[in-house]
């Protein structure tokens, strides 16, 4: 993204209003860790645009044009209108209302193990902190629509590459034990390099065997998640394919 925006804490909820320096917490990523972003965005959302007659090539080109400005459905439709793909503003308004209604509930895109893991972690006394990379407004929409916001004591977004390490600087001294679960090796490297005692878990929701399907399936279904398979971590992290493998 061309301009990084400062991470913005969305919620801070706790029994005493502050973090317990004697306690422990788990830092969780959102996209591709808790949320099946590829199925939501590159499969279902793109298909929804196609039902309005938007060609896939044009959809992707317009997406690439507005992503550096911070993605939103409204901005995407504005770009398609500018390109002449959407005939007039009234059609654009109708499309936006239809898309927002169709994707107002994103709970089906949570991975199956998410709810049980969060409940088990809370039961074992962990505070839950969401650290999410991306445009704050777009990330906030997905988190709220997925129903996960109430599960976290703290939520923070950063649009800066490697910004999670800086977020951790604020939290590092607040807990006796900190764990981090993320699908991005670079983010885990950044956090662990600054805080060597951090217990890190590198989760991958797409296995190499998933990419051996019919041509055309993998690029859509695992478009972004598969890219992280090619990023070699610099530091050692516990590897897992699901949250069920993370021992609390």
pLDDT of 3 higher than 60: no
Read off the pLDDT band of 16 (50, 70, 90).
Answer: very low
For residue range 92-118, list pLDDT tens digits in order: 999 999 999 999 999 999 999 999 999
Least trusted range by pLDDT, from 12-21, 142-151, 173-182 = 12-21
pLDDT at 8: 40
- Confidence bin at 11 (pLDDT 50/70/90): very low
Decide if pLDDT at 201 tops 60: yes
Do 165 and 13 touch, CB atoms closer than 8 A?
no
User: Does 1 or 43 have the greater pLDDT score?
Assistant: 43
Q: With a cut of 60, say whether residue 212 has pLDDT above it.
A: yes
User: What residue segments make up the domains of the chain, in order of their start?
Assistant: 8-35+107-245, 39-102
Q: With a cut of 50, say whether residue 17 has pLDDT above it.
A: no
Residue range 8-35+107-245, CATH number? 3.40.50.1000
């Amino acid at each position: 993204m061309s301009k990084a925006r400062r991470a913005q804490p969305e919620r801070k909820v706790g029994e005493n209003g502050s973090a317990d320096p004697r306690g422990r917490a788990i830092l969780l990523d959102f996209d591709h860790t808790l949320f099946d972003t590829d199925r939501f965005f590159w499969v279902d959302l793109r298909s929804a645009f196609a039902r309005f007659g938007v060609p896939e090539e044009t959809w992707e080109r317009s997406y690439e044009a507005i992503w550096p400005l911070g993605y939103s459905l409204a901005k995407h439709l504005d770009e398609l209108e500018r390109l002449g793909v959407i005939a007039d503003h009234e059609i654009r308004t109708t499309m936006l209302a239809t898309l927002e209604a169709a994707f107002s509930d994103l709970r089906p895109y949570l991975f199956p193990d998410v709810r049980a893991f969060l409940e088990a972690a809370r039961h074992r006394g962990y505070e839950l902190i969401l650290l999410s990379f991306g445009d704050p407004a777009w990330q906030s929409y997905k988190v709220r629509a997925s129903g996960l916001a109430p599960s976290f004591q703290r939520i923070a977004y950063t649009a800066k590459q490697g910004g999670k390490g800086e977020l951790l600087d604020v939290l590092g001294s607040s807990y006796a034990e900190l764990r981090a679960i993320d699908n991005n090796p670079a983010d885990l490297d950044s956090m662990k390099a600054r805080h060597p005692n951090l217990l890190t878990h590198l989760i991958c929701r797409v296995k190499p065997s998933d990419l051996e399907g019919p041509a055309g399936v993998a690029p859509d279904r695992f478009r972004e998640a598969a890219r992280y398979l090619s990023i070699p971590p610099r530091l050692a992290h516990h590897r897992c394919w699901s949250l069920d493998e993370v021992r609390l």
